[in-house]
Amino acid sequence: MRKNIKYAMILLTICAVSAFALALTNSITSPVIAQMDSNNRVKALDAVSAGYDIGEQQEVTGHAYVTYVIDLQKDTEVAGYILGLKTAGYGGEMTLVASYTTQGEMLFAQLLTHNETPGLGKKAEDDGYMDKFKGTGGAKPVPTNKTMLSSGDAQAVSGSSVTFTAIAKAINGGSEYVKSLGGVK
């Protein structure tokens, strides 16, 4: 019986020390991670802003893909919007930022977070991947399946159909949201 109590106390001590070490590590790294996330978000907003001034963020609720909207301004006029988009890919939730004209045409998009498969769905973070969607959503429809792409672009997304479709649906949902604004919020 004493032997069991001794082992239980040793195990309890190991668990307590491990819990303390994890808590200490989290308290040190969480502010750094939050700052890095904030910096990455600001860089992404600048990258998709198309040279316009970035306005204030407004949260969007009740929409399948859009989580927030930010006005893009030229002088004092609304020239377009940046939307925070969420969707579900093969590896789970994905978040993007995309800019649109007031007519719903996608200007630029950038993937922020995802858990897609390396070598397949992870291609979505490569330079040029989002170019397939550039200029679509206004007069030209957003390609929501591979048959709507050129053969070269279809080859580029080969093996990552779920990721491509998820991103396409989010970008299309963003375009439809902007069109519903009627050019102004």
Q: Tokens 């969420």 map to which residue?
A: 86
Query: Do residues 143 and 170 touch, judged by C-beta distance below 8 A?
Result: no
Residue 42: inside a domain:
no
Residue 29: inside a domain:
no
Cβ neighbours, 10 Å, residue 78: 16
132: three-class secondary structure by DSSP: helix
Residue 44: inside a domain:
no
Using one digit for the tens of pLDDT, what is the confidence trace for 143-159? 877 767 667 666 666 65
pLDDT value, residue 158: 60
pLDDT value, residue 116: 59
Residue 2: inside a domain:
no
136: three-class secondary structure by DSSP: coil
- Per the structure, the count of domains in the chain is 1
User: Measuring CA to CA, how many Å separate 119 from each of 19, 86, 123, 175?
Assistant: 36, 22, 6, 28
Query: Do residues 123 and 83 touch, judged by C-beta distance below 8 A?
Result: no
Provide the residue range defining the domain that includes 71: 49-181
Using one digit for the tens of pLDDT, what is the confidence trace for 70-125? 999 888 888 899 999 998 877 778 889 999 999 999 999 888 877 656 655 556 66
Q: What is the mean pLDDT of residues 27-41?
A: 87
Q: Tokens 């007069």 map to which residue?
A: 139
Tokens (6 digits) for 82: 């940046």
pTM of the model: 0.75
